[in-house]
Structure 1
Amino acid sequence: MAKRLMPLLNRVLVEKIVPPAKTHAGILLPETSNKLNSGKVLAVGPGLRDKTGNHIPVAVKEGDTVLLPEYGGTTVKLGEKEYHLYRDEDIMGTLHD
């Protein structure tokens, strides 16, 4: 049975994107060549409520590619895969092609 983690409040579940270790032609790339720390949003929580009860939605949506901080987040292992939970405000931005 597959488990699905649904984040609470303003949490965002992210799968980090691992940069390729070599090019299509087979040239090995050094680890320092791709420093961009990014991931794909898999699930988002419903958001928070302010002091007056107004809903504050999460800024990203499922499927977004996001820029992540170098440190932070909580590592979660489900089955053989590793995911990361971040607060909405810790995500630095979205990436577009």
Structure 2
Amino acid sequence: MKLVPLSDRVVLQQVEAEEKTASGILLSSASQEKPQEALVIAVGPGGLVDGKEVTMQVSQGQKVIYSKYAGTEVKLDGQEYVIVRQNDILAVVE
């Protein structure tokens, strides 16, 4: 099965959360912060959104940082994804 986003939506797959702090302390899964870094899996076509023309600025395969509480979490075929609007993406990681 394949997720195909509509309008200005982007499908993201989160990168794994850090299991260790910078000083080497191991974190339990309960104390790990939700990662804000993700890989772009699919990008919607853009177009007219809320009366404004939207051009998509991200593309499949890019690594991005998105707003902490943005989007909708979806589980499909054993994989977890987050579907966000393009304006919830804060930066592209190069």
- Structure 2 vs 1, CA of residues 85 and 36 (structure 1 numbering), >3 Å: closer, same or farther? closer
1:1-16 residue pairs with structure 2 within 5 A? 3-16=1-14
Which residue does the alignment assign to 1:94?
92
Unaligned runs of 5+ in 1: none
TM-score by length of 1: 0.75
Which residue does the alignment assign to 2:58?
60
Amino acid at match of 2:41: L
Which residue does the alignment assign to 1:39?
38
Structure number with the higher strand fraction is 2
Aligned-partner Cα distance in 1 for 2:70–2:40: 16
Q: CA RMSD in A?
A: 2.7
How far the C-alpha of 1:73 sits from its partner, in A, is 0.4
Unaligned runs of 5+ in 2: none
TM-score by length of 2: 0.78
- Structure 2 vs 1, CA of residues 19 and 10 (structure 1 numbering), >3 Å: closer, same or farther? same
C-alpha distance after superposition, 1:61-81 (max 9, x if no partner): 000100011112001110111
Q: What is the SS of the residue equivalent to 2:87? A: helix
1:17-32 residue pairs with structure 2 within 5 A? 17-22=15-20, 29-30=26-27
How far the C-alpha of 1:36 sits from its partner, in A, is 5.7
Tell me if structure 1 keeps the 8 A contact 2:18–2:32: no
Q: Which has the larger radius of gyration?
A: 1
